[in-house]
Structure formats: structure tokens, C-alpha cells
């Protein structure tokens, strides 16, 4: 895995981040201020948009999400130890991309009002992992508008934006993308205006970068290095 993009790692963390943001389970520590803030913003989106009106499409997208996560060694059945990536991951991603294109062509982008917040984020998960970067980039203006109008979740879009920037060898905006290093650590790709990183992350409902790095390390059993790498 050394030298590879951790492009999916950020989004494979999406479910974990949601569990963290929605507060602790019984017996756990009380949530931090940032967790309470994300929980509030998340609930506001649900209240504003509702649970979704297209149940069949919601179920399809959630099934696609599960397939995506299983292929990346993430899911309810995962035990301790390193993740196991499917040998045919590229093939699975291509099939899910084709399925998502069909959905978008027939229904438009799956918004929260259409399919509910979890399924809307599932669509973004598949988009994050697509190898069709031209299609991915073509959707960004529309998705940015939907996020601005609170029709999709900003944190979901942040991963797609960062992945697109890294693919173009530019500085990422939200610090979601990391690279696996030859020494077994992972390092963050460079970000624009690092001093304002946490402020930007807060705006799109992402946790502080320190908390995010701790979650990456815990999930992948890898040390996060303090190095910053360029997207070359």
C-alpha cells in the first residue's frame, strides 16, 4: 500500500465520524464541543429536508455504500487488525460508478430530501471513489450549490473536493486526503492556508484535524506522521 492514495480512507471514515459526531454511547465520555456542534448541524439538515421520499432509491444507495465499504475492508463485521482490500476493487468501483451514473441520469443528484441523509452521503461516497475523475469534477459546481442550499451534507462534499484537488496536484482544502508512506505511516497532503484549516473543517461539519488524525490511526492501525507531502 506504500505510496498509494489514502483517497478512500477519508471517506471510509465517514461512518465512524458520524457515530462520533452524534454523541457517545452509554458509558462513554461526554461529547466534545465540536461533536455537539456537528450533531446539531446534522440534525438541522434532517429536520429541514425530512427522511427522504424515495424509499427504493434510498435502499439501493445504502446497499451500494455497504458494497463499497466491504470492498475496502470496512463494515460491521470487521475485526481488529489491518484492513483487507478486495483484489478486484477497481472493478467494484467501476460497477458502482456506472450504477450511480444511471441514478443521477434518471433522478438528478440524490439529495437529503429525496433519499434521506445517510443515502445522500452514500451517493457521495461512491463519487469519492470513482475513477472517472472528469465526471466527478463536472458535478462539483452543482454539488457545491446543493451544499450551500443545505440540500446535501457539506462534510460529504469536502472529501470529493479534496480528492479532486489532489488529483490535479493542487493543495487540498479540508485535509481529508492522506498518503501511505514507505515507512508504514500515513501523511497528509498539503493544504491551502493551514492556519485556517480547522475553521474550514468546522464550516463543513468535519472534526478538528487532530481528532481526525486520531481516528485514522485507530481505524487503520497506522501511525500518522507529522510530515506534509505534495500531491505530485
Task: Please provide the DSSP assignment of 66-124 as one string.
Answer: HHHHHHTT-STT--SSS----TTHHHHHHHHHHHHHHHHHHH-S--HHHH-HHHHHHHH
Q: What are the CA-CA distances from residue 38 to residues 33, 41, 140 (Å)?
A: 9, 5, 23
Q: What is the pLDDT of residues 116-151, one digit of tens each?
A: 999 999 999 999 999 999 999 999 999 999 999 999
Q: What is the pLDDT of residue 26?
A: 42
| Residue 202, helix vs strand vs coil | helix
What does the angle CA 83 – CA 122 – CA 104 come to, to the nearest 5 degrees? 135
Q: What is the pLDDT of residue 12?
A: 44
Q: Indicate the pTM of the whole model.
A: 0.82
Q: What is the pLDDT of residue 232?
A: 75
Q: Report residues of the chain scoring pLDDT below 70.
A: 1-30, 75-83
Helices within the chain (DSSP H only): 7-12, 14-21, 33-49, 55-71, 89-107, 112-115, 117-129, 133-148, 154-167, 197-203, 209-220
Shortest CA distance to 86 belongs to which of 68, 66, 61? Answer: 68
Task: Report phi then psi at 42, rounded to 5.
Answer: -60, -45
Question: Looking at the DSSP assignment, which residues form a beta bridge with residue 229?
Answer: 189
Q: What is the pLDDT of residues 91-100, one digit of tens each?
A: 999 999 999 9
d(CA 24, CA 165): 33
Q: What is the pLDDT of residue 106?
A: 98
CB 204 within 8 A of CB 174: yes
d(CA 7, CA 106): 28
d(CA 140, CA 157): 8
C-alpha grid cell for residue 190?
A: 498539503
C-alpha grid cell for residue 63?
A: 446497499
Q: What is the pLDDT of residue 81?
A: 58
Q: What is the pLDDT of residue 79?
A: 54
Q: What is the pLDDT of residue 72?
A: 86
Question: Looking at the DSSP assignment, which residues form a beta bridge with residue 191?
Answer: 172
Amino acid at each position: 500500500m506504500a505510496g498509494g492514495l489514502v483517497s478512500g480512507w477519508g471517506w471510509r471514515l465517514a461512518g465512524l465520524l458520524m457515530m462520533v459526531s452524534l454523541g457517545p454511547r452509554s458509558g462513554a465520555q461526554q461529547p466534545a464541543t465540536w461533536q455537539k456542534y456537528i450533531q446539531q448541524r446534522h440534525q438541522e439538515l434532517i429536520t429541514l429536508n425530512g427522511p427522504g421520499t424515495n424509499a427504493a432509491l434510498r435502499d439501493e444507495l445504502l446497499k451500494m455504500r455497504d458494497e463499497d465499504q466491504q470492498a475496502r475492508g470496512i463494515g460491521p463485521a470487521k475485526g481488529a487488525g489491518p484492513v483487507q482490500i478486495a483484489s478486484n476493487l477497481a472493478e467494484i468501483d467501476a460497477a458502482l460508478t456506472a450504477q450511480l451514473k444511471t441514478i443521477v441520469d434518471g433522478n438528478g443528484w440524490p439529495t437529503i430530501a429525496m433519499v434521506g441523509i445517510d443515502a445522500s452521503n452514500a451517493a457521495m461516497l461512491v463519487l469519492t471513489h470513482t475513477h472517472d475523475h472528469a465526471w466527478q469534477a463536472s458535478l462539483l459546481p452543482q454539488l457545491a450549490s446543493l451544499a450551500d442550499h443545505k440540500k446535501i451534507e457539506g462534510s460529504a462534499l469536502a472529501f470529493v473536493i479534496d480528492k479532486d484537488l489532489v488529483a490535479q496536484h493542487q493543495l487540498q482544502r479540508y485535509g481529508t486526503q492522506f498518503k501511505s508512506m514507505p515507512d508504514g505511516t500515513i501523511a497528509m497532503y498539503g493544504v491551502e492556508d493551514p492556519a485556517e484549516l480547522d475553521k474550514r473543517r468546522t464550516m463543513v461539519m468535519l472534526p478538528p484535524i487532530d481528532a481526525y488524525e486520531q481516528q485514522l490511526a485507530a481505524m487503520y492501525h497506522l501511525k500518522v506522521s507529522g510530515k506534509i507531502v505534495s500531491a505530485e
